[in-house]
Chains A and B, each alone.
Chain A
Amino acid sequence: MINGQQSVVVTRICRLVVPFAQIFGLYVIMHGHSSPGGGFQGGVILASSFMLLAVGDGIEEVRRRFSMLAVTVLTSAGVLIYAGIGVVCLLLGANYLDYGILPVPEPRSLGMLGIEIGVGTTVMAAIVSIFHDLVTFE
């Protein structure tokens, strides 16, 4: 199922749906602070788009486009973004993760957007990483 020997219908439909799924995942992450959604949900939608690509084109194609190294780096980078925003607040003189001090307009709203991006990055990369490991287990 996962080795790329699919019928042309499955391959084409998966390729057609994947970009829309990814746009929707990005939308859910970016609008998490003003509508239902957020980093966790958007990250899962983004990760599922890569699984759909694996169903259509095989796991090797996914690994060629989104390498194991990038997945592993992104898993850590999300936590680093989240904790890093907290440290920036700390360095500017406020409490840890107290976004009110950030030098941007509407700092609390944008601080939340920043940590949602961090959450989404980690959730997406973690699920893709687990998927890679389970599918390629020998």
Chain B
Amino acid sequence: MKYLHLVVTGLTGLLLILGSLDMPATGDPQAPAARHVSPRYIEQSFEETAVPNMVTSVLADYRSFDTLGEVTVIFTGALAVLLILRTGRRDDEKEGL
């Protein structure tokens, strides 16, 4: 049974390595990801948003809805920890939280 896990892990690793062989090289200007929307961000983002930091203009303006989701994830995480751990301590807690 132990060897079955090893075989499954090894096969998965081989598949992942096989899949990564076709990836474009790092920083390749002809890669599909660099030719679709990136030129628009690089050329237009300062004129459109007046923000010199391109990364922020993508994260907080073009993809603002995505960042709202990220903030909601963090909020939900804090809420989950609060609901799990902050129970049954009302006796010594004056604020009732």
Contacts and interface: CB of A to CB of B under 8 A. Distances in A.
Interface string B44-82: 000011111101110111001101101110110111011
Nearest to B86: A133
Interface in A106-138: 106, 108-109, 111-112, 115-116, 118-119, 122-123, 125-127, 129-130, 133-134, 136-138
B82 A36 contact: no
Contacts of B65: 96-97
Given A32-B53, A78-B71, 4 more contacts: A33-B60, A82-B71, A99-B61, A122-B74
Interface residues of B, number: 32
A48 interface: no
A108 B49 contact: yes
B85 A33 contact: no
Contacts of A118: 71
